[in-house]
Amino acid sequence: MELILSAGIGALAASGIYLLLRPRTYQVVIGLSLLSYAVNLFIFSMGRLRVNAPPVLEPGGVGDLLRYTDPVPQALVLTAIVIGFAMTALFLVVLLVSRGFTGTDHVDGREPPRGD
């Protein structure tokens, strides 16, 4: 499981960074989204990977704490997801405004000269 998760985070982060460095604004948005997925999974994994372990206390007493998984990273992930989502939405708006002003979806607002 550790291998699959780390490979997944790596693949997401690598594609995210690749797309982030591309010249089209839409690619940048997707790149940022992928990067934030990778980061969210990474935060999640920092609470250690556990299967079948609840993050909230079960009814009827605390019992053995070893049966639970760490709830803090899950709370952090939730916050990070919400903030990341909002920021991506905001970025999309800026992207559209830029497209409206310049008529191109290049990140610098103008097409590079042809034939490069």
Partner 1 sequence: MTDWLHHLLILPVLLPLAVAAVLIPIDERDRTLKGAIGFASTLIVFIVTMILMRLAAAGEGSPPGAGVYQLGNWPAPFGIVLVLDRLSALMLCLASGLALAAQVYSMARWHTAGHHFHSLFQLLVAGLNGAFLTGDLFNLFVFFEMMLAASYGLLLHGSGPLRVKAGLHYVAINLAASSLFLIGVSLIYGATGTLNMAHLAAKLATLAPESRRLVETGAAVLGVAFLVKAGMWPLSFWLPTAYAAATPPVAAVFAILTKVGIYVILRLHMLVFGTAAGASAGFGQDWLLTGGMLTISFGTIGVLASQAMGRLAAYSVLVSSGTLLAAIGLGRPEMLAGALLYLVSSTLTIAAFFLLIELVERGRDAGADVLAVTMEAYGDFDEDEEEEEVGVAIPGTIAILGLCFCLCAVLLSGLPPLSGFIAKFALLRGLFDLPAANQASAISTADWTYVALLILSGLAAMIAMNRVGIRTFWASIEGTIPRVVVIEITPVAVLLGACVFLSLQAGPAMRYMQATADDLLAPLVHSERVLSAPRAGGQ
User: Shortest Cβ distance from residue 94 to partner 1 (Å)?
Assistant: 5
Rounded Cα distance, 44 and 37, in Å: 11
Q: Which residues in this chain contact partner 1 in the complex, by CB under 8 A?
A: 20, 25, 28, 32, 35-36, 38-40, 42-43, 45-48, 72-73, 76, 79-80, 83-84, 86-88, 90-91, 94-95, 97-98, 101-102, 107-109
Smaller CB separation from partner 1, 53 or 90: 90
User: Shortest Cβ distance from residue 102 to partner 1 (Å)?
Assistant: 6
C-alpha atoms less than 13 angstroms from C-alpha of 87 in its C-beta half-sphere: 13
Rounded Cα distance, 66 and 69, in Å: 8
Question: Looking at residue 113, what DSSP letter applies?
Answer: P
